[in-house]
């Protein structure tokens, strides 16, 4: 599996002929490199953790551009987000909720708990369901857990026991999610068996932590591997 960090909480997973975008926030993202067209080239699926604009991001535009090329991209999200996107012309959605799993053909997605909020699309914001993390499983590939935007919670350990993730995307930016120190504590205390952690949701805006050094330092001596690529950078697992 090839994993690319596209800035903020946006990732691309390439494996077994699939190209999966998670939280594709490109337009308006000041640290995103390249173009949406490049980031979404060959995209087969979009997965969304929650309804904030910096996570739904360019979903509608990516789906529309694929439709112009006679391709259909299904979007996996909670029911409220799927209804919201359907109102904007997104025709193919797979709605689900926390604890459930959907088979997307060649891989599965499971929604799990995240402690955050979710809403957008209007002022005041429209309620868009509960925030979630996402666990992606594919035959022959390491299980990936995108935590979404979240605080620490002890049931992270239970989710590890159930799903046995090997790669975890961990928000570290503080203010809206865990701080680097708290995120490192979550890794050390609640993520046994995880082989690789990837910090995210930092450096996008001045309100956020600007680099992953505090997270890396707090995990010094711990067995887990830390991958912290530059925006647009990739690594293999």
Model confidence at 106, pLDDT cuts 50, 70, 90, reads very high
Indicate if the pLDDT at residue 175 is higher than 90: yes
pLDDT band at 122 (very low <50, low <70, confident <90, very high): confident
Question: Which two structure tokens, joined as six digits, stand for 82?
Answer: 């799927």
CB atoms within 10 A of CB 70: 6
pLDDT for 94 equals 98
Question: Range of 23's domain?
Answer: 2-236
Residues of the chain with pLDDT > 90, as a percent, come to 97
In the predicted model, what is the mean pLDDT of residues 22-46? 97
pLDDT (average), residues 79-85? 97
Sign of the four-CA dihedral 66, 67, 71, 77: positive
* Summary mean pLDDT of the chain: 98
Residues 151 and 182: their CA atoms lie apart, in Å, by: 8
What does the block give as tokens for 17? 């002929």
Asked if the model's pLDDT at residue 179 lies above 90, the reply is yes
Q: How far apart are CA 101 and CA 49, in angstroms?
A: 14
Of residues 207, 137, 205, the one with CA closest to residue 166? 137
Residue 76 has pLDDT above 90, yes or no: yes
Supply 58's token pair.
Answer: 């360019």
Per-residue pLDDT, averaged over 64-91, amounts to: 97
What pLDDT score was predicted for residue 31?
98
Mean pLDDT of 111-139: 95
Query: What single-letter DSSP state applies at residue 174?
Result: S
CATH code, domain with 36: 3.60.15.10
In this prediction, residue 138 carries a pLDDT of 98
With beta carbons less than 8 A apart as the criterion, state whether 10 and 21 touch.
yes
pLDDT given for residue 121 in this prediction? 81
- Please give the pLDDT value at position 18: 98
Give the span between the Cα atoms of 116 and 131, in whole angstroms: 6
Instruction: Give the residue-averaged pLDDT of 32-59.
Output: 97
What is the total count of domains within the chain? 1
Q: Tokens 């799927």 sit at which residue?
A: 82
């Amino acid at each position: 599996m090839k994993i690319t960090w596209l800035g903020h909480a946006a990732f691309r997973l390439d494996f077994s002929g699939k190209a999966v975008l998670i939280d594709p926030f490109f337009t308006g993202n000041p640290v995103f490199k390249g173009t949406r067209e490049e980031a979404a080239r060959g995209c087969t699926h979009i997965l969304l953790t929650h309804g904030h604009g910096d996570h739904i991001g360019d979903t509608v535009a990516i789906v529309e551009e694929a439709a112009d090329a006679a391709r259909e991209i299904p979007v996996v999200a909670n029911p409220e987000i799927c209804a919201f996107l359907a109102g904007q012309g997104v025709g193919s959605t797979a709605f689900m909720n926390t604890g459930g799993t959907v088979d997307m053909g060649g891989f599965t997605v499971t929604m799990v708990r995240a402690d955050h909020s979710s809403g957008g699309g209007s002022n005041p914001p429209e309620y868009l369901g509960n925030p979630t993390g996402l666990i992606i499983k594919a035959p022959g590939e390491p299980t990936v857990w995108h935590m979404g935007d979240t605080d620490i919670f002890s049931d992270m350990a239970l989710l590890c026991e159930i799903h046995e993730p090997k790669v975890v995307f961990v928000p570290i930016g503080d203010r809206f999610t865990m701080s680097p120190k708290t995120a490192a504590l979550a890794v050390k205390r609640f993520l046994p068996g995880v082989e690789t952690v990837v910090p995210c949701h930092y450096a996008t805006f001045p309100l956020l932590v600007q680099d992953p050094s505090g997270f890396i330092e707090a995990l010094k001596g711990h067995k887990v591997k830390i991958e912290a690529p530059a925006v647009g950078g990739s690594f293999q697992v």
